[in-house]
Amino acid sequence: DIVMTQSPDSLTVSLGERATISCKSSQSVLYSSNNKNYLAWYQQKPGQPPKLLMYWASTRESGVPDRFSGSGSETDFTLTISSLQAEDVAVYYCQQYYTTPPTFGQGTKVEV
């Protein structure tokens, strides 16, 4: 199975400041035939299910604010919140869907 490792485990950021989360996969999730990275990001708020934020590593899901951005390729990925808002307090997970079983990172808790 592909192992997804996120860092840091938790992050405290002031309102309006930038938050950056790293995700590393144990093998490349870039499919060479279509040049797509099979990497998604989810946001989970307390008592709620995960919500898809980003797919193909850098494509925002419909309705996701543009302060959220994703970058990276192959084995190294980043989720950036450019200006943290109070409603962004949550746990963020990366997930690879390159191969079965799809696997998730352990999560990064973002606090204010």
Partner 1 sequence: QVHLQESGPGLVKPSGTLSLTCAVSGDSISTSNWWNWVRQSPGKGLEWIGGIFHTGNTDYNRSLKSRVTISVDKSKNQFSLNLTSVTAADTAVYYCARGASYHHYCLDLWGQGALVTVSS
Binding site for partner 1 (CB under 8 A): 38, 40, 42, 48-52, 55-56, 61, 93, 95, 97, 100-107
Closest contact distance (angstroms) between CB of 14 and partner 1 is 27
Closest contact distance (angstroms) between CB of 48 and partner 1 is 8
52 or 89: CB nearest partner 1: 52
14 or 62: CB nearest partner 1: 62
Closest contact distance (angstroms) between CB of 73 and partner 1 is 17
Tell me the two tokens of residue 65: 């604010």
Closest CA to 80 of 26, 37, 23: 23
Per the CB < 8 A criterion, the answer to whether 9 and 109 are in contact is: yes
CA distances from 48 to 21, 26, 80, 90 (A): 21, 28, 21, 10
